[in-house]
Structure 1
């Protein structure tokens, strides 16, 4: 088996568990981890891979052989990732230029969902700019979204004033001029989570259908090992886990993200979460309860 996981603690636990199950395993190093997504989704070049939640949804919608191992490797609040440098606020998004690394970037999907749901923004009245394509072959940007010139990067474009707002998480540059577009963004995010019952999820773990058929015991052993690591870290983390584990624990985040993705033309059809649960369980020959369902 080959696996790609961005976190050393989870990778170490998974590798040890797979070896103990009697299966040969190799951790493939890819940084940043999202760069492994294209090869995994379109060519199954690794067996188990950390993926953005929206990449999973796109893969399912486009008929790719991708299954879900329900483990959250990255969860976080997202309202603070909409930033600006001028005197603008979230009330000014319509009619202005907003940059996002890729239309299918999960942080962007969450933020655009907030814009429509909480602030009444018509996404088609925003001047969107993207900088990269999609991880899933067949996925394209909507016709009302512009692509920046090749080689242009969002952080530099934002600092140069070529876009009025940016949606940036880990790629946010250090500059004292930058501020959140949403006032009291962290308080707003916390209230959103209270209302929804979960914290937004960014990254989960995907499994190829071929690997599920060939290495089911090893994959289940890896799941158990990573679940233990994540459970140990959740103690005292707050009212809602940052790293939910199990099909039911992830249902809220997946269902909401799927609705946002459909509204934003990120996926070509609605994706029912139970479709993914059923396919995964059938491939691994387990009941949903085995994976927290």
Structure 2
């Protein structure tokens, strides 16, 4: 049986053999469209899957379920970029603007960012024009998934030969919701800045008030996955993640010398004041509030045919986790 997942610090022990899963071969995840096709085609048996693509597959009747394993999490106030001359300094300034989004209307990062802006700042996506396509390379909207959206949301594809990063830098679009930092930003372009320049403090305040640490991905499995196998995979991911967390804790004694990034200890100590001991939880109970928020956002943004519940979208044998 083959499981495809990205190599993160949370999964490294699955690859180096520290945490085996009996009868399961763990392989590195391919690109997103290939993950989807491989899972549909039976080339892999379980795979890391973006939450929105998993939910879209359920709406299309795909025979999948999800395991409450979340190897990828990112706070998402930081994922909204604006053109420096767009006049956007506050979320309220997004009204009437042209906004880009990579690949699909409603990437996991975009679902979270839109939902948070809707909840906290009154953002209304239908008041914007949305442009969908490639971020750094010219590409049409994703072909491997469905593209639901409300009738009152205006969507167009990126013009042929253009990219969202280039259009943002040139001012052809006013803002960009993206899971990846645009290359012009990494290159130091003065033409692009974040909607929330002080995103860390904003995200810390958001977590302090809500307790939500947004998750992007889960592990998708066949709907008829064996209960024993589902539990074994869950337990292995949990152990691998806990090993990684303990390595960070133990490395404090040596001032995190295993990492090249300076002042990692200071960051770890600051996080200890805000985050719980298990700051990256797996399972349903510890993530129920965040998952329910994502499912609500997905429905409110017109991406789900109906409002899914947490209990419906995760494997029944793991609902007690």
Q: Please, what TM-score do these two structures have when normalized by structure 1?
A: 0.83
Match of 1:123 in 2: 125
Aligned match of 1:232 in 222, 243, 254?
A: 243
> Secondary structure of 1:146's match?
strand
Question: What does 1:165-244 correspond to in 2, within 5 Å?
Answer: 165-173=175-183, 174=186, 175-177=188-190, 178-210=192-224, 212-213=225-226, 216-234=227-245, 238=272, 239-240=275-276, 243-244=280-281
Q: Kindly provide the CA deviation profile for residues 114-169 of structure 1, in whole angstroms up to 9, marking residues without a partner as x.
A: 22111112211111111154576444344422222355432222223221111123
Q: In the TM superposition, what is the alpha-carbon distance from 1:26 to its structure 2 partner? A: 5.5
**Structure 1 unaligned residues grouped into runs of 5+:** none
Q: Kindly provide the CA deviation profile for residues 3-58 of structure 1, in whole angstroms up to 9, marking residues without a partner as x.
A: 2111155265178589662x252525514xx3344215644432111111222222
> Secondary structure of 1:72's match?
coil
Bigger-Rg structure (1/2): 2
Q: In the TM superposition, what is the alpha-carbon distance from 1:229 to its structure 2 partner? A: 1.9
Match of 1:140 in 2: 148
Distance 2:306 2:24 in 1: 38
> Secondary structure of 2:287's match?
helix
1:157 aligns with 2:188: no
1:288 aligns with 2:319: yes
Q: Does the Cα contact within 8 Å between 1:112 and 1:123 map onto a contact in 2?
A: yes
Distance 2:124 2:70 in 1: 31
> Secondary structure of 1:201's match?
coil
Distance 1:250 1:15 in 2: 28
Q: In the TM superposition, what is the alpha-carbon distance from 1:82 to its structure 2 partner? A: 0.7
Distance 1:263 1:190 in 2: 25
Distance 2:56 2:143 in 1: 9
In structure 2, the CA distance between the partners of 1:246 and 1:135, relative to structure 1 (3 Å rule), is farther
Distance 1:17 1:135 in 2: 38
1:251 aligns with 2:299: no
Distance 1:249 1:151 in 2: 45
Q: Does the Cα contact within 8 Å between 1:100 and 1:108 map onto a contact in 2?
A: yes
**Structure 2 unaligned residues grouped into runs of 5+:** 134-139, 250-267
How many equivalent residue pairs?
A: 278
Distance 1:159 1:118 in 2: 27
1:75 aligns with 2:73: yes
RMSD of aligned residue pairs (Cα, Å) = 2.7
Query: 128-137 or 90-99: which moved more?
Result: 128-137
Match of 2:97 in 1: 96
Q: Kindly provide the CA deviation profile for residues 178-209 of structure 1, in whole angstroms up to 9, marking residues without a partner as x.
A: 32112532222222222221211112211122
